[in-house]
Structure 1
Amino acid sequence: MNTFSSIANHLFHPSYPQNHTPIVLCDFDGTISVKDVTDTLLSHFGQNGCDELEELWVNGKIGSQECMSKQIALMDASLDELNQVLSQIEIDMDFKAFIHYTEQNNIPVHVVSDGLDYAIEFILKRHGIEHLPIFANKLMHNNARSWRLEFPYANKDCIKQSGNCKCNHVKKQQHFSQILYVGDGTSDYCVSHNVDFVFAKDKLVNYCEKNKIEHCKITSFADVTSALKRAQHAVIPVMMVK
């Protein structure tokens, strides 16, 4: 019998008292990372059946939790092979400066992703970013070539049937003065309705426009840093700065 275990280090999940600063929640795939990490891994290591599962998810016949769980179970790769692919994935060139600014100004940043905890941790660490709170699906390995997922942040009432219910994470951050969100795609649609302000890329821009969600279109994290600086100097809410 295969025994699976988590390969991520202990992920830092801080708690905060009543706080007068905003908190920034960031999607990872396509937002912090240049490429979608799960898609990249599946393109290298996914076996027959992955494309069919993707089609079922795209057509709304299964949720992302079911889709990803079954796709990851179809991966055939050693840990070293996985790491070699992860080592080639780049992040937004302005993300590190954004993290530096938020740390200097005591603005918490959480990565809230429907992706893979180990992959996110590995990529960020390779770029010199450690100790950032990561809330994502737990990647499990059997120390051979088999993989599976666990979903510590799943919510049975999640409308999108996601592995990580981002809306549920937002509910736990109500002690902050504002909840700001940075995202780019489908997994960010639902949560965008439940935060104070959205910094949007790609498909999320059109979604916010269509649904009249307060947002700012960005091309990189430099735009987010600039907005935070303007808001700080003007002493007005970030959500009013566009």
Structure 2
Amino acid sequence: MSKPVIFCDFDGTVTNNDNIIAIMKKFNPPGWESVKDDILAQRVSIKDGVAKMFTLLPSSKKDDIISYVLEQAQIRDGFSEFVAYAKKQDIALYIVSGGIDFFVYPLLESFGPFAGVYCNEADFSGETININFPHRCDDECTSQGCGCCKPSIIRELLENGAKSIVIGDSITDLEAAKRADLVIARDFLIEKCEELGLSYEPFENFRDVTSIIDARLGVKL
């Protein structure tokens, strides 16, 4: 049996808090909270909502924003050991994030290398921050507004017969969770899984995640 492949979210999963929300709360541009509520209620797409929130922030605050997000971010307990476990078990571990390159890459740097890291990109060249989305939805995606489209990335990377493990916490992980062989969830993703009748395993830290996956190895996912 082929090894499973892990697709792990970043904001609110690898880190304790959602870094985009932390930025918005700190710099508090008018109107950001209503956009956030629209994203969670699925009234606007993730792509459009994230892009709109960042256009509320002036590019002149680039250095302050980057310094703040890197200072406040905390890595969830057990993540380093989990990365080592995946490497020891020869399980591909991809970080697939709706977060932004200016904080995702620096915060992951000391833990890698990973099988791959996928995230969105910030452009500070204009008056306000523009977000680029290099990992867009493929033709099979039913959402067509993911931003960083996790189901499309999974379809691209998953080899025939391999099982997918999705680890996440929020609305950005929902479409991937619908298609995963094993969902390991916390916070808002648990609410959505229960609402839709999706099977999941709950976690609080990455020691939990390691135990869940270890128990499943050798067992059909």
Identify the TM-score tier after normalising by the shorter chain.
0.7 to 0.9
Q: Deviations over 1:193-219 (max 9, x none)?
A: 111110111222233234332321111
Match of 2:157 among 173, 182, 193: 173
Note the residue ranges of structure 1 that are not aligned, 5 or more in a row.
1-18
SS in 1 for 2:179: coil
Note the residue ranges of structure 2 that are not aligned, 5 or more in a row.
none
* Counterpart residue number, 2:118: 135
Match of 1:214 among 190, 199, 210: 199
* Counterpart residue number, 2:96: 112
Mapping of residues 1-242 of structure 1, within 5 Å: 20-76=2-58, 77-85=60-68, 86-125=70-109, 128-132=110-114, 133-142=116-125, 146-155=128-137, 158-159=142-143, 161-175=145-159, 177-232=162-217, 235-237=218-220, 239=221
Cα deviation, residue 158, structure 1? 4.4
CA contact (8 A) 2:6 2:91 kept: yes
Per the alignment, do residues 210 and 63 of structure 1 end up closer, same or farther by CA in structure 2, a change over 3 Å counting?
closer
Per the alignment, do residues 58 and 198 of structure 1 end up closer, same or farther by CA in structure 2, a change over 3 Å counting?
closer
CA contact (8 A) 1:31 1:183 kept: yes
C-alpha distance in structure 2 between counterparts of 1:152 and 1:192, whole Å = 21
Moved more, 199-208 or 46-55: 46-55
C-alpha distance in structure 2 between counterparts of 1:130 and 1:21, whole Å = 20
Q: Considering only aligned residues, what root-mean-square deviation do their CA atoms show, in Å?
A: 2.3
SS in 1 for 2:134: coil
User: What TM-score comes out, normalization by structure 2 length?
Assistant: 0.86
CA contact (8 A) 2:16 2:75 kept: yes
Tell me the amino acid that sits aligned with residue 100 of structure 2. L
Tell me the amino acid that sits aligned with residue 18 of structure 2. D
CA contact (8 A) 2:100 2:121 kept: yes
User: What TM-score comes out, normalization by structure 1 length?
Assistant: 0.79
Per the alignment, do residues 210 and 87 of structure 1 end up closer, same or farther by CA in structure 2, a change over 3 Å counting?
same
Per the alignment, do residues 178 and 115 of structure 1 end up closer, same or farther by CA in structure 2, a change over 3 Å counting?
same
CA contact (8 A) 2:137 2:144 kept: no
Cα deviation, residue 55, structure 1? 3.8
Report how many aligned residue pairs link the two structures: 215
CA contact (8 A) 1:69 1:149 kept: yes
Q: Deviations over 1:101-130 (max 9, x none)?
A: 1111211111111121221112222xx213
C-alpha distance in structure 1 between counterparts of 2:188 and 2:33, whole Å = 21
Tell me the amino acid that sits aligned with residue 168 of structure 1. S
Q: Which has the greater radius of gyration? A: 1
C-alpha distance in structure 2 between counterparts of 1:22 and 1:223, whole Å = 17
Q: What is the identity percentage for the equivalent residue pairs of Structure 1 and Structure 2?
A: 21
